[in-house]
Amino acid sequence: MDRLNWLRAQHEQGRLRDLTPVQRGADGQVRLVGGDDPLRDFSSNDYLGLSVHPQLVAGSRDFLDRSGCGAGASRLMSGDLDLHHLLEAEVAALKGQEAALLFGSGYQANCGIIPALVGRSDVIFSDRLNHASIHDGCLLSRARVVRFRHNDMEHLEELLQSRRGSGEALIIAESLYSMDGDRCPLADLVILKNRYGCLLMIDEAHATGVYGAHGGGIIEEEGLTGEVDLAMGTFGKALGSYGAYVAASREMIDFLVNRARSFIYSTALPPAVIGASLAAVRLVREQPELRSALATRVTAFRQALRRRAIEPIGVSQIMPVLVGDNARTVAVAARLRQQGVFVTAVRPPTVPEGTARLRFSVTLHLEEKDLNATAAMLASILAEKT
Ligand SMILES: *Cc1c(COP(=O)(O)O)cnc(C)c1O
């Protein structure tokens, strides 16, 4: 491949990805390198602002002081610290499941769990908008992958009827989709998985901590805890830390310990990360006011946009604004950046052709005045011709 030409072509199509280093303060404020004013950061998944919460910092420091920097080995070697089991027990309780298992990251979790569950003679039914890590896990499994139209349960049932086969079948969806900010029809997925004898795996990456009376996610909020076979999620988003988990029956977790290669062949998470995650899980269980504060900000931003005739899509803290054209989306994001607003331009292939968008995510780092000012800025930029 001619890499230089490839990069040029990506650039011309408005598809080139590049890195933008920022400096992050202990208060969570982000600044461009050498910049004075903090950016209004709408591209963070730190929804509840926990990454800088004193209790997470203290929990992290405590475990660091107690147990040092690295776990030293994988869990099945000598890296299986009591701290990991402590966190797994808390996560199992948060998710209302018998047991839980930690992974290095959500990406690793999906790449390890899916191939552990299904293989060559099996089939996976996967929502078309599922995250890249789910897609990659499906490919690694070598199972037949059948993708159903996003949230289209009639299409899924049609495919279950024609393609279910007699092997193991796994249905995978996200409870909250990161590019559209919408939910899956969880109750219907449960009906279908029971009707067709499938396993159901739900990725709660964007929902854990943010939904449910105890922050257990959308599965908890919708009262379907016992109905989902595997609930996975990350500590890297609303939980403000790093790493990931899957919660399931004891038997399922014992199976994954023996089968999930990204668990078996990777160094265990380090103590400082476990300390932060543990504090986060406890915090979200004990402080529903974090969730109501976020809901208030989300409503405020939606209203601020609507007052300016901009209708964000989605029903959550993820509020994408469709622009359409790739280059224009990038240009609008760049103009916002100049004015101190950090928002990600999401383009194909991450989203379908012609649906490039600005993905605003609202976090507790942003105050109502930031939300109003940003809505006003966006409206005036969109009103310009280009
Ligand atoms: C972010 C994300 C992941 C990956 O989690 P990391 O811990 O960041 O690796 C997996 N699934 C979904 C749906 C995500 O949004």
pLDDT in the model for residue 37:
87
- Residue 237 annotated among the catalytic residues of the structure: yes
Mean per-residue pLDDT pooled into runs of 10, the chain (386 residues) = 93 83 91 88 96 98 98 97 98 98 98 98 97 97 97 98 97 95 97 98 98 98 97 98 98 98 98 98 98 97 96 93 93 94 89 93 96 97 82
Residues near ligand 1 (Cβ within 6 A): 105-107, 110, 131, 133, 174, 178, 203, 205-206, 234, 236, 244
Beta-carbon contacts of residue 159 (< 8 Å; ≥ 6 apart): 125, 146, 148
Residue 327 CA to ligand 1 center (angstroms) comes to 26
pLDDT in the model for residue 386:
57
Tokens of 151: 């949230």
Instruction: Ligand 1 pocket test: pick from 127, 133, 174 the residue with the most ligand atoms within 8 Å of its Cβ.
Output: 133
Buried b (16+ CB within 10 A) or exposed e, 178-189: bbbbbbbbbeeb
Supply the residue whose CA is at minimum distance from atom 8 of ligand 1.
Answer: 106
Instruction: Ligand 1 pocket test: pick from 43, 91, 105, 107 the residue with the most ligand atoms within 8 Å of its Cβ.
Output: 107
Which listed residue (41, 46, 203, 221) is catalytic? Answer: 203
Q: What does each C-alpha distance from 31 to 35, 39, 162, 245 come to in angstroms?
A: 6, 6, 53, 31
Classified as helix, coil or strand, 371 is helix
CA distance 141 to 199: 15
Contact status, residue 329 vs residue 217, Cβ threshold 8 Å: no
pLDDT in the model for residue 347:
87
Contact status, residue 215 vs residue 94, Cβ threshold 8 Å: yes
Predicted model pTM: 0.96
Helix (H) or strand (E) segment spanning residue 137? helix 132-141
pLDDT in the model for residue 126:
98
